[in-house]
Amino acid sequence: MKEEELRENINCGLCNQPFAAAGLPIFHRVTIETYCLDVNAIKRQDGLAAIVGSSVIASVMGPNEDLAKELHEPLKITVCSTCSIEERHCIAQLSEIANRETEEEANESTKRR
């Protein structure tokens, strides 16, 4: 990670403290990808499997379409070593914080132009 990127990620997304404040020079960069099942694609694949009599054959013969769609771009969040060992954080909370940070970065870059 280069200096500019490190400076952008210096604060923990959960406690908002510099990650080195935890006493360890270790931090986590978590990427969150959120997907939603495509029910219609699943029904098509299941229907083909029923017609040919085998899900293995259907997977080879079928269009190989995505059965789950990405809801948004992957979100990234920095987490310090202290917050990384706490049990109180859930994925939805991490996603919300990362989404908020992404929106703030986009607003800042728009203001600079």
Residues β-bridged to residue 107:
none
**Tokens at residue 10, please?**
């210096």
| Torsions phi, psi for 30 (to 5 deg) | -100, 130
pLDDT for residue 37 is more than 90: yes
State the Cα–Cα distance between residues 92 and 75, nearest whole angstrom: 11
Asked if 12 and 80 touch (Cβ cutoff 8 Å), the reply is: yes
Greatest Cα-to-Cα distance within the chain, rounded to the nearest angstrom: 61
Instruction: Give the residue-averaged pLDDT of 4-18.
Output: 89
Task: Quote the pLDDT of residue 113.
Answer: 62
pTM for this entry = 0.67
Distance between terminal CA atoms of the chain?
26
pLDDT for residue 51 is more than 80: yes
Strands (E), the chain: 27-32, 35-37, 68-70, 75-80
